[in-house]
């Protein structure tokens, strides 16, 4: 990420989990991200397009970051990754105005505001990129994650039945949530607030 966003990271933020460092993911983070992914319950990985616990998937992820199709912010605690958020957008697609948010937090760190913090960071980046719509997807039983997204203005847009299959072959429904970033932007401008902190 360059331009207005470049000076935003790395930085330290305070939340219920204590002080966390936010930084852009780079190739130097692959080992830490792999350890983070492998510690996650298998079910938590189902809403991601690929299994990030596999080294070849991480290598492809880094290639997409370098290409500019993905922006990933990591939340770290004492050198370990405790959460990550990715904003995927494809300028050459039919939906260059749409970004997809993918957020995942270490199981032992949930309920401490890290997910909300990372979603807010993705919103700021989306605004700077000029995106108009954000989507997020997760399995329907991930009620905590759905509640966080809905509390931030996301609404259900689609239910994809039997859309993902776990390692045991069990199929799961996927819910797609969306948020109108353009409407959000016009609302904060109406109140005289800044575009993004």
Q: What CATH number did the domain enclosing 56 receive?
A: 3.40.630.30
Is 171 contained in some domain?
Answer: no
Is 146 contained in some domain?
Answer: no
Is 49 contained in some domain?
Answer: yes
59 or 4: which leads in pLDDT: 59
Is 14 contained in some domain?
Answer: yes
Which of 111, 120, 33, 117 is closest to 79 using CA atoms? 33
Kindly list the distances between the CA atom of residue 136 and the CA atoms of 25, 47, 52, 90, in Å, as whole numbers in the listed order: 20, 9, 17, 15
Is 127 contained in some domain?
Answer: yes
Number of domains in the chain: 1
The label of the residue with tokens 């259900």 reads: 156
For residue 20, pLDDT beyond 80:
yes
**What pLDDT band is residue 3 in, cutting at 50, 70 and 90?**
very low
Sequence-distant (6+) residues with CB within 8 A of 53 are 34, 37, 38, 40, 45
Percentage, residues of the chain above pLDDT 70: 88
Is 44 contained in some domain?
Answer: yes
For residue 81, pLDDT beyond 50:
yes
What are the pLDDT digits (tens) for 177-192?
A: 999 886 666 665 665 5
pTM of the full structure: 0.86
pLDDT confidence of residue 189: 66
Q: Going edge to edge, which strands form the sheet with 11-15?
A: 11-15, 18-24, 70-77, 80-88, 98-105, 133-139, 171-180, 155-165
What are the pLDDT digits (tens) for 127-151?
A: 889 899 999 999 998 898 899 999 8
**CB-based burial label for 179 (10 Å; 0-12, 13-18, 19+):** buried
DSSP string, 81-133: EEEEEEEE--TTSS-TTEEEEEEEE-GGGTTSSHHHHHHHHHHHHHHHHT--E
Is 149 contained in some domain?
Answer: no
What are the pLDDT digits (tens) for 49-74?
A: 888 989 999 999 999 999 888 999 99
Is 107 contained in some domain?
Answer: yes
Range of the domain at 130: 3-135
């Amino acid at each position: 990420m360059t331009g207005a966003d470049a000076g935003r990271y790395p930085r330290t933020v305070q939340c219920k989990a204590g002080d966390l460092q936010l930084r852009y993911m780079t190739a130097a983070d692959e080992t830490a991200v792999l350890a983070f992914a492998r510690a996650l319950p298998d079910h938590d990985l189902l809403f991601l397009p690929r299994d990030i616990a596999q080294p070849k998937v991480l290598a492809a992820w880094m290639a997409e970051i370098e290409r500019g199709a993905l922006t990933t912010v990591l939340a770290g605690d004492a050198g370990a990754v405790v959460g990550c958020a990715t904003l995927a957008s494809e300028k050459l697609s039919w939906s260059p105005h749409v970004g997809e948010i993918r957020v995942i937090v270490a199981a032992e760190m949930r309920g401490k505001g890290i997910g909300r913090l990372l979603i807010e960071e993705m919103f700021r980046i989306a605004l700077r990129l000029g995106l108009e719509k954000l989507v997020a997807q997760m399995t329907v039983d991930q009620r905590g994650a759905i509640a966080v997204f809905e509390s931030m203005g996301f609404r259900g847009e689609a239910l994809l039945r039997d859309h993902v299959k776990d390692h045991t072959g069990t199929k799961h429904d996927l819910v797609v949530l969306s948020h109108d970033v353009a409407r959000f932007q016009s609302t904060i401008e109406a109140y005289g607030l800044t575009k993004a902190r």
